[in-house]
Amino acid sequence: MASPVDARVREILAVYTGDGIDVAHLLCDRHPTDDVALTFVDADRSVRRVTYGELAESSKRVAAILAARGVGRGSRVATLMGKSPELLAVVLGIWRLGAVYAPLFTAFAEAAVSSRLADADVAVVIADDDQAHKVPDGPWELVVNVAEATDGSLAELIEAVSAGHVAEQTSVAVSGEGPLVHMFTSGTTGKPKGVVHPVRYVAGWQSYLEFGLGVDAESVFWCGADPGWAYGLYTAIVAPLASGVTTILTRGGFSPQATWSVLQDLRVTDYAAAPTVYRGLLTSKETAPRGLSLKRLSSAGEPLTPEVNEWALRELGLQVHDHYGQTELGMPIGYPHHQLLERPVLAGAMGVSLPGWQMTVLRTDTDTLADVDEVGQLAVDISASEFMTFTGYADNAEATAKRFRGDRRYFVTGDIATIDADGVIRFSSRDDDVILMAGYRIGPFDIESVLLTHSAVAECAVIAAPDRVRGEVVEAFVVLASSWTADEVATKSELQQWVKTHYAAHAYPRQVHLVPALPKTPSGKIQRAELRKQRREQATESSSS
């Protein structure tokens, strides 16, 4: 007999499997019209609430606009928009037509926007007024989103759609295997690769909201991630709409003061954000206000280093549950918040396979399973993972072939990890982040975790740097905490000794570089590959001089 969790997984999957699936109905129209779909906090902290009924009407108007421009089933429509009620209306309007959504992050420069529009074969781009200049001329049509109804703007076009036309607007039914979203990997190790997920992909995110994040009908839920990226799109928009849970979006970027204010004013119970957000709160002079309603904290995007939970437990009385995912997969690993699945959070561990997923570790050089606690390739066992929908990168057979092993039974994530007898997975590094020094395989995450426990360190990144004798050595790039006052030489020496004392003598950073900032992707992930490139170039220059 299936467990309640397994039964619920199959129940969710059934909703998004088969033919005749009305995405707009599942994400909006089936919910009570007076229920609040979105709580939007503007830059001036004013609050606007949008009901499912209002979202249904606005998204039908958007669908009518797009249909008049030739958008239909399978067409790609992109957005270059910040967090706003209009964004939800546009995304849902795209899916009403059976079209495919192509999200773009507003921090992208023109070149990044242009390449993604071309690679996805986009028909229409909807961009905020302050983003429209990044959209180059091309085979796509540009619609600008501004508050005022100027000629040809999204607001003007929406107003022009008659009430009768809205009433007549019907949704296009699609297959569970039909394309829903066309997005791209972050491109930290090469050109971004296209990932097209089907409608059935929504099931995994609805399950993640329920089991991974523990969100239920009583929750006040806020995901702080940007919807221009996979985690923000699915966790802040798609999963809440699928579940009928009110989501919160806030205008603008992260600031400790604004974050504490929203958490307090809206009485948020469930909060999800990147580790960099928690570290920003940790190092800020702004302290947590009293009387917060927080019950559950979650993190994704980068490994969660131990000092975050030391702070969260001390200041908030809660632990942050680390969760792991990829654009290709969704969220297959984490410490679940659901009461049927909760387990003690272990420092430095990613968690366990979440419902609907079976994660494993393969030996580095074969397709056989690694032993318990043996370092190897983190992989999805596709045969036992009901939420797995990824079958390959768009128009990139070579990249696809590198990710599937064992006659396509396994998908390798590109991460190095271990798994213990209890199924707890511990992240070591990205495949290309591994440091091979004098026969040792060293994962930078362990060293970074130790460095971040030192009061001098606000942020850090550890990489492999070329060395004539050892092949590679450990080097650290450190952003100092604003309160740290010791001189540079003493600080570097102290941090080296700190790693020797608190981790391992052989793994201390041979050089510590004190830097004002670390290179990051627009989504906030540290670009260790860029740091490695810089050090290789410096080594080449030194050897040739």
Show which of 152, 182, 197 is a domain's final residue.
197
The pLDDT value recorded for residue 190 is 55
The pLDDT value recorded for residue 188 is 45
Q: What is the mean pLDDT of residues 22-32?
A: 97
Assess if residue 74 is contained within a domain: yes
- Helices and strands of the chain, counted as H and E runs: 17, 25
For the cut 50, the answer to whether the pLDDT of residue 277 exceeds it is: yes
Assess if residue 397 is contained within a domain: no
The pLDDT value recorded for residue 37 is 98
**What amino acid is encoded at 221 in this protein?**
F
Q: Write the pLDDT tens digit of every residue in 339-361.
A: 999 999 998 899 999 999 999 99
CB atoms within 10 A of CB 101: 21
Containing structural domain, residue 466:
440-544
CB atoms within 10 A of CB 17: 17
Assess if residue 180 is contained within a domain: yes
DSSP letters of 331-346?
EEEE---STTT--PPP
State which of 87-101, 137-151, 165-179, 491-505 shows the largest mean pLDDT: 87-101
Number of domains into which the chain is organized: 2
Q: Write the pLDDT tens digit of every residue in 280-337.
A: 899 888 899 999 999 999 999 878 888 899 999 999 999 999 999 999 999 999 999 9
CATH number of the domain encompassing residue 505: 3.30.300.30
Which residue reads 């690679």 in tokens?
119
pLDDT band at 148 (very low <50, low <70, confident <90, very high): confident
- Output 391 or 105, whichever has higher pLDDT: 391
- Quote the mean pLDDT of the chain: 92
Show which of 168, 197, 226 is a domain's final residue.
197
For the cut 90, the answer to whether the pLDDT of residue 274 exceeds it is: no
**3-state SS, one letter per residue, for 452-491:** CCCCCEEEEEEEEEEECCCEEEEEEEEEECCCCCCCHHHH
Cα separations in angstroms, 79 against 19, 91, 137, 179, 198: 27, 8, 15, 17, 19
Assess if residue 135 is contained within a domain: yes
**What amino acid is encoded at 142 in this protein?**
L
DSSP tag of 520: B
Assess if residue 311 is contained within a domain: no
Show which of 169, 197, 225 is a domain's final residue.
197
pLDDT band at 446 (very low <50, low <70, confident <90, very high): confident
Assess if residue 503 is contained within a domain: yes
Q: Write the pLDDT tens digit of every residue in 468-478.
A: 767 788 999 99
Assess if residue 445 is contained within a domain: yes
Q: What is the mean pLDDT of residues 4-30?
A: 97
State which of 178-187, 386-395, 516-525 shows the largest mean pLDDT: 386-395
Q: Write the pLDDT tens digit of every residue in 166-188.
A: 878 889 999 999 999 999 986 54
Assess if residue 413 is contained within a domain: no
| Token pair belonging to 483 | 């309160």
pLDDT band at 440 (very low <50, low <70, confident <90, very high): low
This model's pTM is above 0.95: no
- In 3D space, the residue among 82, 45, 482, 84 whose CA is nearest the CA of residue 257 turns out to be 45
| Token pair belonging to 275 | 């580790």
| Rounded CA separation 519/533 (Å) | 12
CATH number of the domain encompassing residue 145: 3.40.50.12780
The mean-pLDDT minimum among 125-129, 183-187, 196-200, 415-419 falls in: 183-187
